[in-house]
Amino acid sequence: MATQEDLEDARLQQILLQQLQSLQRAGVRQLPRAGILSGEIPPGKPDQPPATSLSPVPEMQSTPSPENALEQLELLRQKVAGCTLCDELAASRTQTVFGVGNPQARLCFFGEAPGRDEDRQGEPFVGRAGKLLTDIIHKGMQLQREDVYILNVLKCRPPGNRNPSPEEANCCRPFFERQLEIIQPEFICCLGTVATQNLLQTRETIGRLRGTVHNWQGIKVIATYHPAYLLRNPAAKKDTWEDIQLLMREMENTTGDTV
């Protein structure tokens, strides 16, 4: 008969298995060797295979692939967190705001820069404009924020929410381009003038850029008004709804999953 201890062991095994499966679903492919974190076992040489591997997927590669997007994004997030290329922004920020969402999202929303709420919370689009974006995602598209990925041109808040300077946007360009390369979305929805002009490297106005499908490195790009603009100009919401419907039609017409 199973003793109390056997039952406890079985329960622990089940919990451990569930946690490993959850990590695996999140894209994690390797764990540190038992004891490394607590200092009991010295780390192995870099060329040794990891002792604990969730799958035979090779070690972290520099080439982005869906399997290691989570790790690649985490490495990039750490680089961004230490960035001091823009003196003023690095000095005034509470923290960098990297991006949030599904590392394998079909759709990325691309905004301008963190505002006060984002600077405080470390997550894009969590303030008033963010609430409107979340409504567009939930009510308009029947998706969850967790289904998509949300990022900005700038990773730091410009003081007083002024527009990013071209120099600042250029400093952040390698970061947002790399983020998009890692995620490899099929669609990018640019929110507002700054995001659209910086991604497509154009001076055209948002009024002219919205309403059609653009291409950036093989990814379909839709541009629409920024949610903060929509809050000030509710009459433009009908245009954004048209843009979102165009985006949804494009997403339905490709063979990917629903998300």
Which residues are near ligand URA by CB under 6 A? 111-115, 118, 124-125, 127, 129-130, 152, 192-193, 206, 225-226, 228-229
Q: In angstroms, give the least distance from the CB of 164 to ligand URA.
A: 10
Q: In angstroms, give the least distance from the CB of 94 to ligand URA.
A: 13
**Smaller CB separation from ligand URA, 29 or 210:** 210
Q: In angstroms, give the least distance from the CB of 13 to ligand URA.
A: 42
**Smaller CB separation from ligand URA, 27 or 206:** 206
**Smaller CB separation from ligand URA, 125 or 187:** 125
d(CA 76, CA 74): 5
**Smaller CB separation from ligand URA, 112 or 168:** 112
The residue sitting closest to ligand URA, measured at its beta carbon, is 111
202-to-57, 148, 187, 198 alpha-carbon distances in Å:
40, 25, 19, 7
- Supply 173's token pair: 């360009």
For 239, the 3-state DSSP assignment is: helix
Q: In angstroms, give the least distance from the CB of 114 to ligand URA.
A: 5
d(CA 175, CA 164): 15
**Smaller CB separation from ligand URA, 33 or 214:** 214
Computed from CA positions of residues 47, 51, 56, 57, in that sequence, does the dihedral angle turn out positive or negative? negative
For 135, the 3-state DSSP assignment is: helix
Residue pair 115/163 in contact (Cβ under 8 Å)? The answer is no
Q: In angstroms, give the least distance from the CB of 11 to ligand URA.
A: 42
